[in-house]
């Protein structure tokens, strides 16, 4: 795989990976995220191969929001839009405590394919107690979808997650969710948009970051629109406009395919059939099935290779 992307790799290493010809300087190491949800998609083999080999067809995106503003439901609809057969609602919430409490505790990553592009989407926690998960994720992506409840507007955790995204230079896409509620009007959405703009400005956003696109959605009903509406046409009751906006506004990752393979690991998990699975961001080079890789660890005595 080429270019910086979030992707599961099978290996027996523990930390950041490097090929046997890698330089001695290790990539940075993040603490593990939680288990990712993996889903099949309807993309063809040719589409998979072309998207993996061309970094220009990749998009790394985090979905950020205050708790209960609709992130995980939105992820469900995006997965279904792209052909994934998910087993139940809130499929990204794989931890039993998450399903019991109805909140996201740990970040999860999955890939979806849309119009010959691969979108690596990360569902992040919205609760303040798990804010560290958000900070780890936004350092690994090039874009973010900021989900805001159109009826409640930006709340405390909205400010926190947005500040992290702006700190890393991301240009978030604003998605006003739950516009199908009877109490939500176009005037209310305009007011919420103004509040979000003020929040951007107060957090020191640049002029480019202040010029953010706005979409209106009902994740529960499974549609998103570039203009305010409560009842989109039948042929537009889907997430196509949001997916197109992600491809249009989120830049592809930069990649140097000539350098040795290096990968920043963000998640480690174990599968009884596959063994150890590592998920992370490829910063340079290519890796193929059967390649020998090494884990690098920083210690007081120097860099240790395993």
Q: DSSP 3-state assignment of 271?
A: strand
Exposure string of 127-162, with b = 16+ CB inside 10 Å and e = fewer, is eeebeebbbbbbbbbbbbbbbbbbbebbbebbebbb
Q: Which helix (H) or strand (E) holds 51?
A: helix 45-53
Structural domain boundaries, residue 74: 38-249
CATH of the domain at 100: 3.40.50.300
Q: Could you list the pLDDT tens digit for every one of the 306 residues in the chain? A: 444 443 333 333 333 444 434 333 333 333 333 334 444 344 444 444 444 557 788 899 988 888 776 777 888 788 777 766 666 555 565 556 555 555 655 667 778 888 888 888 887 775 555 656 677 777 788 999 999 999 888 888 888 888 888 988 999 999 999 999 999 999 999 999 999 999 999 999 999 999 999 999 998 888 999 999 988 888 888 889 999 999 999 999 887 888 888 888 777 778 888 888 777 778 888 888 888 888 787 787 877 776
DSSP secondary structure of 145-194: EEEEETTT-S-HHHHHHHHHHHHTT--PEEEEE-TTSTT--HHHHHHHHH
CA–CA separation, 53 and 49 (whole Å): 6
Residue 161 lies in a domain: yes
pLDDT in tens, 107-163: 677 788 888 888 888 877 755 556 566 777 777 889 999 999 998 888 888 888 888
Residue 84 lies in a domain: yes
Residue 5 lies in a domain: no
Residue 118 lies in a domain: yes
For the chain, the domain total comes to 1
Residue 80 lies in a domain: yes
Residue 273 lies in a domain: no
The sign of the CA dihedral 201, 203, 207, 208 is negative
In this prediction the pTM is 0.72
Residue 57 lies in a domain: yes
């Amino acid at each position: 795989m080429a270019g910086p992307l979030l992707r599961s790799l099978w290996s027996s290493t523990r930390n950041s990976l490097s090929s046997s010809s890698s330089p001695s300087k290790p990539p940075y190491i993040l603490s593990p995220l939680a288990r990712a949800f993996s889903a099949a998609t309807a993309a063809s083999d040719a589409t998979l191969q072309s998207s993996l080999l061309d970094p220009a067809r990749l998009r790394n995106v985090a979905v950020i929001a205050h708790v209960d503003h609709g992130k995980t439901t939105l992820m469900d609809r995006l997965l279904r839009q792209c052909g994934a057969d998910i087993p139940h609602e809130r499929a990204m919430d794989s931890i039993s405590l998450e399903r019991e409490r109805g909140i996201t505790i740990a970040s999860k990553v999955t890939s979806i394919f849309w119009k010959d592009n691969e979108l690596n989407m990360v569902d992040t926690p919205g609760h303040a107690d798990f804010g560290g998960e958000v900070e780890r994720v936004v350092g690994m992506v090039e874009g973010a979808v900021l989900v805001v409840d159109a009826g409640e507007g930006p709340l405390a955790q909205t400010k926190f997650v947005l500040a992290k995204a702006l700190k890393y230079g991301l240009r978030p896409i604003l998605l006003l969710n739950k516009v199908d509620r009877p109490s939500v009007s176009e005037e209310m959405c305009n007011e919420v948009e103004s509040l979000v703009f003020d929040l951007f400005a107060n957090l020191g956003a640049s002029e480019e970051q202040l010029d953010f696109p706005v979409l209106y959605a009902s994740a529960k009903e499974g549609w998103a629109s570039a203009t305010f509406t409560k009842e989109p046409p039948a042929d537009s009751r889907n997430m196509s406009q949001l997916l197109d906006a992600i491809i249009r506004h989120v830049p592809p990752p930069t990649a140097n395919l000539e350098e040795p393979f290096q990968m920043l690991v963000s998640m480690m998990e174990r599968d009884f059939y596959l063994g150890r699975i590592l998920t992370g961001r490829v910063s340079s080079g290519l890796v193929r099935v059967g390649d020998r890789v090494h884990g690098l660890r920083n210690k007081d005595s120097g860099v240790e290779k395993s």
